[in-house]
C-alpha cells in the first residue's frame, strides 16, 4: 500500500528483454536506502518487486522483472534510458499518511491533452478511458504516475488537475509534454462503493423476485 506522495524521481538505466520477463533497471537514491531483494517499490504508481539491488556511486540500481501484462497495461512501454520515473516506498505502519490509499495496481493509461503554466502553477488535462473515468469525481483523488492528486474538473472524456510548484519540481511531471502517456489508478474507495451498490441491487432484485 502506498499514499501517492512521491519521494523522488528516479532514472531509467536500462530496459531489455530477459529469459522470462522484461528487465527494467532504475537508479534510485533516497528510495533505494534499505531496499532489499523481494521488497516493493512504486514505479510510476505501479507496485513492483525488486529482484536485484546494487549499490553504486552513492545511488542504488534496482532491477525489476516486468510481466508482459504489466508492460502492455502501463506506460513502461514508452520508457527509455534516461526517462524519469516517480518512486515511492510502501507505507510503513505508523507512517505519515499524506495522500490517499494507492494500491499500486494500474487501472489504465491516460494521455496528456493540455500541460501548461498558469501563474505559479501548472494545469494538466488528461484524457482517460471509460474504465477509469467511471470512478473520477470532482474534488476526488486520483493517482497519476503514482502522484496523489485532486481532481479539479471532469468531463466525459477526461479530467483536469492543478499542479503546485513543489509537485512539479520533485516528480517526473517536469519532463512531461502534451501527448505523453501516464499511468492512472482511480481511488479505491469508489471501487468498493460500486461493488457494494451492485451487490445490494442484486440482493434486492432477488428478494423482489422471490416475493413475486
**Residue 93 maps to a domain:** no
pLDDT value at 88 more than 80: yes
**Residue 202 maps to a domain:** no
**Residue 20 maps to a domain:** yes
The mean pLDDT value for 159-166 works out to 98
Decide the pairing of beta strands 22-28 and 8-17: antiparallel
Q: What is the pLDDT of residue 95?
A: 65
Are 163 and 113 in contact by the 8 Å Cβ rule? The answer is: no
Judgement on whether residues 118 and 62 belong to the same structural domain of the protein: no
- Please give the residue range of the domain that contains residue 24: 8-88
Cell of 116: 501548461
Look up the pTM and report it.
0.90
Q: What is the pLDDT of residue 83?
A: 98
| Domain at 38, CATH number | 2.40.30.20
Phi, psi of 27 (to 5 degrees): -90, 120
Residue 94: band (very low, low, confident or very high) from pLDDT cuts 50, 70, 90: low
Give the number of other Cβ atoms within 10 Å of residue 66's Cβ. 21
For 19-74, the pLDDT digits (tens) are 789 999 999 999 999 999 999 999 999 999 999 999 988 899 999 999 999 999 99
**Residue 164 maps to a domain:** yes
Judgement on whether residues 189 and 126 belong to the same structural domain of the protein: yes
Instruction: Flag the least confident range among 48-52, 84-88, 102-106, 204-208.
Output: 204-208
Cell of 42: 512504486
* β-bridge partners, 56: 59
Number of domains in the chain: 2
For 188-199, the pLDDT digits (tens) are 888 888 888 888
Amino acid at each position: 500500500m502506498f499514499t501517492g506522495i512521491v519521494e523522488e524521481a528516479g532514472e531509467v538505466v536500462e530496459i531489455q528483454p530477459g529469459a522470462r520477463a522484461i528487465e527494467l533497471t532504475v537508479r534510485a537514491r533516497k528510495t533505494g536506502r534499505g531496499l532489499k531483494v523481494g521488497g516493493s517499490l512504486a514505479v510510476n504508481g505501479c507496485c513492483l518487486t525488486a529482484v536485484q539491488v546494487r549499490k553504486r556511486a552513492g545511488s542504488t540500481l534496482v532491477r525489476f522483472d516486468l510481466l508482459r501484462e504489466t508492460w502492455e497495461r502501463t506506460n513502461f512501454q514508452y520508457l527509455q534510458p534516461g526517462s524519469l520515473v516517480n518512486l515511492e516506498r510502501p507505507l510503513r505502519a505508523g507512517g505519515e499518511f499524506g495522500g490517499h490509499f494507492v494500491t499500486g495496481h494500474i487501472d489504465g493509461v491516460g494521455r496528456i491533452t493540455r500541460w501548461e503554466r498558469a501563474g505559479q502553477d501548472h494545469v494538466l488535462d488528461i484524457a482517460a478511458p471509460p474504465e477509469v473515468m467511471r470512478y473520477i469525481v470532482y474534488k476526488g483523488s486520483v493517482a497519476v504516475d503514482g502522484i496523489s492528486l485532486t481532481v479539479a474538473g471532469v468531463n466525459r472524456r477526461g479530467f483536469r488537475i492543478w499542479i503546485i510548484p513543489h509537485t512539479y519540481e520533485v516528480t517526473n511531471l517536469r519532463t512531461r509534454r502534451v501527448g505523453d502517456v501516464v499511468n492512472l489508478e482511480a481511488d479505491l474507495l469508489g471501487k468498493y462503493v460500486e461493488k457494494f451498490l451492485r451487490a445490494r441491487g442484486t440482493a434486492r432484485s432477488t428478494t423482489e423476485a422471490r416475493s413475486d
